[in-house]
Amino acid sequence: MKTISREQALQWIAQGESQKCEERMAEVNRRLHDLVLYVREHSPYFRDAYKDLGEAFILQDLPVTTKAGLLECYDHWVTDPKVTEESVRTYLSDLENVSENYLGRYTALSTSGTTGNPMPMVRDEYHNTIHGCLMEQRLLKGIEASLLSSKVASIIATDGFVSSYSSALRIKRRLGDRSDRFLILSVLTPTTEIVEKLNVFQPEMLTGYPSVLEVLAREKLAGRLSITPDVIASSAEKMTRDTYETLRNAFDCPILDNYCSTEGGEIAMSCSHGYLHLNEDWIILEPVDEEFRPVQLGEWSSGVLITDLTNFVQPIIRYHVGDCVRFSGQPCACGSNLPVLEISGRMGDMLSLNDTSVAFPVLYFMLSDVKNLSSWQIVQTGGNAITFRFIEKHGTSREPVGIAACEKLQQSLRSYGCGEVVVTISHEPFIKNPKGGKTPYVLNRSQ
């Protein structure tokens, strides 16, 4: 298994950002060849997938991979035979394991399951060191040195080994007797209660999902939230330009945005001007259409293919994700020559139910434990009314799933401070976004 020191990783990352594009792409191709040769030797899945691959291959010669396809052969996908789907899921089932490495050498975490079945991911030290240094050098830009002495508040999903929560728990436990300087709040906590706790805690750094942070920005602008953080960091959800500007206006501090995924790691990071730059020396991102064909520069994609050049234990190579992106091809005023990346929108609109704002992550985790619920869409039709469209898991009865979901929504929204909300099941098909054709989870049609 590959290893790298923190010093070497920092050196390579600094070099990658200063290189000309041609020099950087030559290094990327070398890293891609190293990864492919390794996985062809150590992963039964890739050994078979690449059996006809010649030595002088290019990226497009490699087959596309999907979450469903890889999950079907999990134990043959990984390169370490000691890693098995059963053992990883067992490890992830006990949150006490967060302070111990899986098999004594790997970190393990899980996707949130927004597209169906959560997928366990295993990362080796090579991946963790490089992606950690990417965060330090390109996103935090020196801020990390003061994190251990800062008061940090994180509003996230407190759900098992979901990446953001497990990372927060690891940091909190490392703080030891200073753990009271790291406040973790669930996104399901009512906004009024979050505001009260933040006003008491007075964080110097605030982290969370962009749409949840936007709700807090509105509370700040309304005069109810009285905190003055030195920095705000967001991830796990797409930040729109409007959200970025709202946060800047409310808090007047640096806003750090990280486009990342549990599978692909740290894909792109915001600069001082608020634009995302692709970490293209370590992550290959291919914007593609519905047939996995490349789209033209400046055009919106219907999905992307991700290749993580750092994960040698659970390889992510041309892995399809349904994010709509485009590359502008224009230089950024910040001076970085890493490509500027735009992401289309976010998971949906903000709801306002009985004058209480509800962001997508809150709704998602309200419904996360409803059995046999495959996918869903919520449309607000009035001040206290929503319609619920859904698809049940194959082979299950539709009616009980709909009833359970509606009851859970009404109960959870009441607890969140929305009062009584009328939830009506709709049997109409999901409403799609005309840009890219994706299906937003949440639509506000009440205005």
pLDDT by residue (tens digit) across 194-210? 999 999 999 999 999 88
> Which pLDDT tens digit goes with each residue over 346-362?
567 789 999 999 988 88
Q: What is the pLDDT of residue 436?
A: 46
More confident residue, 76 or 95: 76
Give mean pLDDT, residues 28-51: 97
More confident residue, 128 or 434: 128
Q: What is the pLDDT of residue 223?
A: 96
Residue 305: φ, ψ to 5° = -110, 125
pLDDT band at 111 (very low <50, low <70, confident <90, very high): confident
Q: What is the pLDDT of residue 241?
A: 79
Choose the CATH number for 351-444 among 1.10.3720.10, 3.30.300.30, 3.40.50.740, 1.20.120.1080.
Answer: 3.30.300.30
Q: What is the pLDDT of residue 395?
A: 86
Q: Across the strands, what pairs with 245?
A: none
3-state secondary structure of 313: coil
The fraction of the chain above a pLDDT of 70, given in percent, is 94
Q: Is the pLDDT of residue 142 over 70?
A: no
Exposure b/e, 301-340, CB count within 10 A at least 16 = b: bbbbbbbbbbbbbbbbbbbbbebbbbbeeeebeeebebbb
**DSSP per residue, 246-266:** HHHHHH-S-EEEEEEETTTEE
Q: Looking at the chain, which residues constitute the CATH 3.30.300.30 domain(s)?
A: 351-444
Quote the pTM value: 0.81
pLDDT band at 113 (very low <50, low <70, confident <90, very high): low
Q: What is the pLDDT of residue 116?
A: 54
> Which pLDDT tens digit goes with each residue over 277-317?
999 999 999 999 989 999 999 998 888 999 999 999 999 99
Homologous superfamily assigned to 1-346 = ANL, N-terminal domain (3.40.50.12780)
pLDDT band at 430 (very low <50, low <70, confident <90, very high): confident
Q: What is the pLDDT of residue 243?
A: 84
Tell me the torsion sign for CA atoms 92, 96, 99, 104.
negative
Give mean pLDDT, residues 246-257: 93
Q: Looking at the chain, which residues constitute the CATH 3.40.50.12780 domain(s)?
A: 1-346
More confident residue, 175 or 265: 265
Q: How far is CA 61 from CA 22, 64, 95, 180, in A?
A: 21, 9, 40, 51
CA–CA distance, 115 with 117 (Å, rounded to integer): 7
Q: Is the pLDDT of residue 59 over 50?
A: yes
